[in-house]
Amino acid sequence: MRRVRSNRLVFLGVCLLICLGLIVASRLGVLGPVRGIAAAPLNFITGIFNRITLGVVNGADDFADAETLRERNADLEVALARFQAELVELREVASDYRRISALLEYTATTQQQEFIAANVIATADPNALLRTIVIDKGARDGLTIGMPVVTELGMVGRIINVAANASRILLITSPSSAISGRLQTSRDEGSVIGQPSGDLRMTFIPLDAQVQEGDIVITSGLGGNLPPDIVIGQVISVQQLQYELYQEAVIRSLNNFDTLEIVLVITNFQPVDLSVFEQQSEN
């Protein structure tokens, strides 16, 4: 035990002497080169830890920025959806304004006629035997069978069925529709019949009539079924049949019946029933 204690005392004394020597050497500047050599690996390790720490901090900042960008993108998407909905609504308002303005301008030029505007709530079926549309006005609005339906571009058709709050219109392009027409330039008359293709055919035009492509065809008023001078369409081709006593012309309506949205019903026109006079002449 005494030997162990003496060894410890010797070791402690040696350590103290070494420490004193190092202190004195440090004060004298002798350990400067040794300190630089020993500090090099420590500086390298410290640099590694600094870079790791900086990377972790930058990663945290990038993550926070990414979360902020995602939130901003979500807010922008919501705002964009709202603006798109408002843009669609404004476009519809502008489109309705243009259509209604055109209809009002047309009604202003026809002082002798009274109109009621109606929305198209069912479009024509091109495969049906009768080409018809349905509007949202009916008997409650004073509509009756036979009333003409028009737009600012011309004739649309006639009412054939009336309910309390809706009416069915037979389009002039229906094969079952026949209208007495007149060429606006030459004043020659004929019968305008709807075709399955959606065009119109004016037949029974006199052989000596001057018919040209681009001529406007209007209602003649003959027969008492429609008011006169309503545009039916425009001539796109003329055909003179061999051995026939008349000419025929293909007419295209200025209306696009597939995209009709608002129409005008002429409410102060009542069709005239001429069958009474025919019965009297037979008697």
Instruction: List, for residues 224-283, the tens digit of each pLDDT value.
Output: 889 999 999 999 999 887 677 889 999 999 999 988 999 999 999 877 766 655 555 555
**Residue whose entry in the numeric block shows the structure tokens 């012309």:** 249
CA separation for the pair 266, 115 (Å, rounded): 5
Q: Is the pLDDT of residue 159 over 60?
A: yes
**pLDDT score at 223:** 84
Q: Is the pLDDT of residue 178 over 90?
A: yes
**pLDDT score at 213:** 93
Dihedral sign computed on CA atoms, order 146, 121, 216, 175: negative
**Any idea which of 25-29, 71-75, 171-175 has the lowest mean pLDDT?**
25-29
| CA distances from residue 178 to 56, 86, 193, 219 in whole angstroms, order as listed | 85, 45, 5, 11
CB 245 within 8 A of CB 139: no
Q: Give residues with Cβ within 8 angstroms of 221, minimum separation 6.
A: 180, 227, 228, 229
**pLDDT score at 130:** 85
> Cα(first)–Cα(last) distance of the chain, in Å?
161
Q: E-assigned strands of 184-261?
A: 189-194, 200-206, 216-219, 231-240, 246-252
**Residue whose entry in the numeric block shows the structure tokens 């004043």:** 187
Q: Confidence class of residue 118 from pLDDT cuts 50, 70 and 90? A: very high
CA separation for the pair 165, 153 (Å, rounded): 25
Left, alpha or beta for 203 (phi > 0: left; psi -120 to 50: alpha)?
Answer: beta
Give pTM, 2 decimals. Answer: 0.66
**pLDDT score at 51:** 65
List the one residue out of 234, 241, 231 whose CA is nearest residue 204.
241
**pLDDT score at 125:** 76
**Residue whose entry in the numeric block shows the structure tokens 């350990």:** 31
> What average pLDDT does the chain have?
80
Helices (H), the chain: 2-28, 32-109, 275-282
CA separation for the pair 224, 275 (Å, rounded): 11
CB-based burial label for 33 (10 Å; 0-12, 13-18, 19+): exposed
Dihedral sign computed on CA atoms, order 94, 97, 99, 102: negative
pLDDT tens track for 10-68 = 666 666 666 666 565 556 655 555 555 555 565 656 666 566 666 665 665 666 667 77
